[in-house]
Chain A
Amino acid sequence: MTGSSLSGEERLKQRRSRFYRYSALGIAVAVLFGMVSGYTRRWYESGLLPGAAIVAMWALGLGAFGFYVAGYLRRLDEVDMADNLWAAYWGFHFYMVAYPTWYFFATVGMMPDPNQQIIWFTTMLVMLVGYVTRKLGLR
């Protein structure tokens, strides 16, 4: 059956499965990349690989991520895109406030130095909350 002869619901089903397949592919590649990067780091630390291999692997990962994100954005419709942008907006503003706040309190001795990992993960959490909030219709 050609695309034009499909009903709207069948087209939507196809579109949705394409999106889920693409997302699953992204997750699978990310897991594989995580495993490969772990081995590469071990081989580098044991002297089996030169530093250039680490840089090449990072560049490959960055390129693959950029390629994947471009494809992901092409598959989103404008409402999905708006939800993603809202989530990014929340995350960005959280980071804009969180780091300087923590830094300020650290300089006056009321807190330890800012922990970037905590701030990074919390930023991701805030983005997730922003995304889910939009998806729940609380726009």
Chain B
Amino acid sequence: MNNKLKVLRAMRDWSQAELAGHLDVSRQAVNAIETGKHDPSLPLAFRIARLFEMPIEEIFDDGL
């Protein structure tokens, strides 16, 4: 699944570790999501959407 996490992170000038801390996950988790190796669970996707104050579908794109 494609996502805009890297762009959103860059807009706030956050490192992966910085974002990981805000989401209470490991840095590896942020990396895995950003690179599309792991699709986040629904609760984590909601946390990401709340953190960036955006709808989930604007952050994640399932390509359909």
A16–B25 alpha-carbon span in the complex (Å): 9
Beta-carbon nearest neighbor of B37 in chain A = A139
Inter-chain contacts of A45 with B (CB < 8 A): none
Inter-chain contacts of B24 with A (CB < 8 A): 11, 15, 77
A12 touches B41 (CB 8 A): no
B38 touches A12 (CB 8 A): no
Q: Which of B15, B18, B21, B26 contacts A79 (CB under 8 A)? A: B26
Q: How far apart are B23's CB and chain A's nearest CB, in angstroms?
A: 8
Q: How far apart are B58's CB and chain A's nearest CB, in angstroms?
A: 21
A137 interface residue, CB < 8 Å from B?
A: yes
Q: How far apart are B59's CB and chain A's nearest CB, in angstroms?
A: 17
For the complex, count residues of B whose C-beta is within 8 A of A: 21
Known: A9-B17, A12-B17. A79 touches B22 (CB 8 A): no
Contact with B along A67-103 (1 / 0, CB 8 A): 0000000000111101000000000000000000000
Interface residues of B (CB under 8 A from A): 14-15, 17-22, 24-29, 32-33, 37-38, 40-41, 44
Closest 8 CB pairs of A and B: A8-B21, A11-B21, A8-B18, A12-B21, A77-B25, A79-B29, A8-B22, A9-B17
Known A-B contacts: A12-B17, A12-B20, A78-B40. Give 13 more (CB < 8 A): A7-B18, A7-B21, A8-B18, A8-B20, A8-B22, A9-B15, A11-B22, A11-B24, A78-B25, A78-B29, A79-B25, A79-B32, A82-B38
